[in-house]
């Protein structure tokens, strides 16, 4: 049930002591080895000795993705390159990518955290893990890979893409666990159906999906179509990669590995902490990383802190499943809209496939939102009247959920482009 019970179930008081000790060491490491941090601390008159309790975390300055870009490629590293054994980077769509480095100890910690995460998500050493996260500069593939090997499971390093081969291997090798993005899991299910392969012919029983926000309805859809139990895993390359947090079998929020990361949820505008239960931006401080310590890193991911203990016995703090990213948040006529809200409505209403596209445009001074969604096969061959009714229902439901007027365009099944990694859900023509 646990990979490392001592840490995963550590009494809260003891965990807090460990966190403070590690925070102080991290702050020192950053201050004395990274000119960026030294300058940022000095600019607000803070030095490592000022961190006397966990509450003092709030005195420290934030770190952003832009800071990593400004110090491209290795300027944020706290160790000489001779100690860096691995380099990953994120695929920035604009500007320079962010580059992250790992010492041998960092890689060791990452493998430990991923082993914990896999066990927490329901995997054992007897599983055959089909790892369809991309291998390469992206942290997903190798992150899961090292954790699976640490756990002692059999890992298939298949990487993303080549969907038909994925399904053949899944069937022939008897893969029991699938790891990939949720949108790719759904695509796999669809191609499987086209190939006439039913979930009953597979040994697949569990899926660990992440690297993009996905809704509770999307989970149910994937579980139904693949005949598995699906959990959400969270991580980002700037902090370590996958393995920052994961859901347990309760599927009631993600446990964050608190002996290695401190989390806060803040209002992205005022930058002040928000109370548990309230949505805000997740901020993470690494507690053990050597090559790239991050202090109060602004993840741009939207979540909330959950109160109360979890029946699985882990004492770590939990965060809610992610609503989206501050980057994904669209402001349409002054209203905040997340693609995940649209996804939730579509899946709840039925009659459509979970493949959709939000097109935001501006006509004159007015923003417009069009939701393109695929109609399910059975309905598409139906009478025009059925489609008109579906469209009307979707417009009503979306408008009442989002609070703005929406145009719904129903399109033929399989006409919206599929992704093998992170799905593209929004086209904002206002920026072009």
Contacts with Zn ion, residue ranges (CB under 5 A): 248, 250, 310, 312, 314
Q: How far is the CB of 248 from Zn ion (least distance, A)?
A: 3
Q: How far is the CB of 287 from Zn ion (least distance, A)?
A: 21
Query: Between 121 and 354, whose beta carbon lies closer to Zn ion?
Result: 121
Query: Between 105 and 251, whose beta carbon lies closer to Zn ion?
Result: 251
Query: Between 29 and 318, whose beta carbon lies closer to Zn ion?
Result: 318
Q: How far is the CB of 148 from Zn ion (least distance, A)?
A: 21
Query: Between 253 and 280, whose beta carbon lies closer to Zn ion?
Result: 253
Query: Between 20 and 263, whose beta carbon lies closer to Zn ion?
Result: 263
With CA atoms as reference, report the closest residue to 419 among 187, 237, 78, 257. Answer: 187
Query: Between 6 and 431, whose beta carbon lies closer to Zn ion?
Result: 6
Q: How far is the CB of 310 from Zn ion (least distance, A)?
A: 3
With CA atoms as reference, report the closest residue to 299 among 238, 356, 241. Answer: 238
Say which residue the tokens 């490491």 belong to: 29
Query: Between 153 and 248, whose beta carbon lies closer to Zn ion?
Result: 248
Q: How far is the CB of 138 from Zn ion (least distance, A)?
A: 28
Q: How far is the CB of 394 from Zn ion (least distance, A)?
A: 35
What phi and psi values does residue 282 have, to the nearest 5 degrees?
-75, 130
Q: How far is the CB of 316 from Zn ion (least distance, A)?
A: 8
Integer Cα distance of 376 and 352 in angstroms: 5
């Amino acid at each position: 049930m646990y990979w490392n019970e001592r840490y995963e179930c550590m009494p809260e008081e003891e965990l807090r002591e460990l966190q403070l000790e590690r925070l102080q060491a991290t702050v020192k490491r950053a201050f004395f080895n990274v000119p960026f941090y030294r300058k940022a601390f000095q600019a607000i008159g803070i030095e490592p000795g000022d961190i006397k309790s966990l509450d003092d975390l709030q005195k420290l300055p934030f770190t952003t993705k832009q800071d990593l870009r400004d110090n491209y490629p290795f300027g944020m590293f706290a160790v000489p390159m001779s100690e860096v054994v691995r380099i990953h980077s994120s695929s920035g769509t604009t500007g320079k990518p962010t580059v992250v480095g790992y010492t041998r100890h960092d890689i060791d910690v990452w493998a430990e955290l991923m082993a914990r995460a896999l066990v927490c998500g329901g995997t054992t050493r007897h599983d055959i893990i089909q790892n369809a996260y991309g291998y390469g500069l992206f942290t997903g593939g190798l992150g899961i890979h090292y954790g699976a090997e640490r756990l002692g499971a059999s890992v298939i390093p298949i990487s993303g893409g080549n969907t038909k081969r994925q399904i053949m291997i899944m069937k022939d090798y008897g893969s029991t666990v699938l790891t990939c993005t949720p949108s790719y899991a759904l695509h796999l299910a669809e191609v499987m159906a086209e190939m006439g392969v039913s979930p009953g012919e597979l040994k697949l029983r569990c899926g660990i999906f992440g690297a993009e926000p996905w809704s509770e309805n999307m989970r149910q859809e994937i579980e139904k179509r693949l005949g598995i139990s699906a959990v959400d895993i969270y991580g980002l390359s700037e902090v370590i990669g996958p393995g920052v947090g994961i859901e347990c079998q309760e599927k009631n929020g993600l446990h964050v590995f608190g002996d290695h990361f401190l989390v806060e949820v803040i209002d992205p505008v005022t930058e002040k902490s928000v109370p548990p239960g309230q949505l805000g931006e997740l901020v993470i401080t690494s507690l053990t990383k050597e090559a790239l310590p991050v202090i109060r890193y602004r993840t741009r991911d939207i979540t909330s802190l959950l109160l109360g203990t979890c029946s699985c016995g882990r004492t770590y703090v939990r965060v809610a499943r992610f609503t989206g990213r501050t980057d994904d948040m669209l402001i349409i006529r002054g209203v905040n809209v997340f693609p995940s809200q649209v996804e939730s409505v579509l899946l709840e209403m039925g009659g459509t496939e979970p493949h959709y596209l939000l097109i935001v445009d501006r006509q004159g001074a007015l923003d417009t939102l069009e939701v393109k969604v695929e109609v399910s096969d059975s309905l598409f061959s139906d009478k025009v009247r059925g489609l008109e009714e579906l469209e009307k229902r979707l417009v009503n439901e979306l408008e009442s959920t989002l609070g703005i007027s929406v145009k719904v365009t129903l399109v033929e099944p399989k006409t919206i482009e599929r992704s093998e990694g992170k799905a593209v859900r929004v086209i904002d023509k206002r920026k072009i």
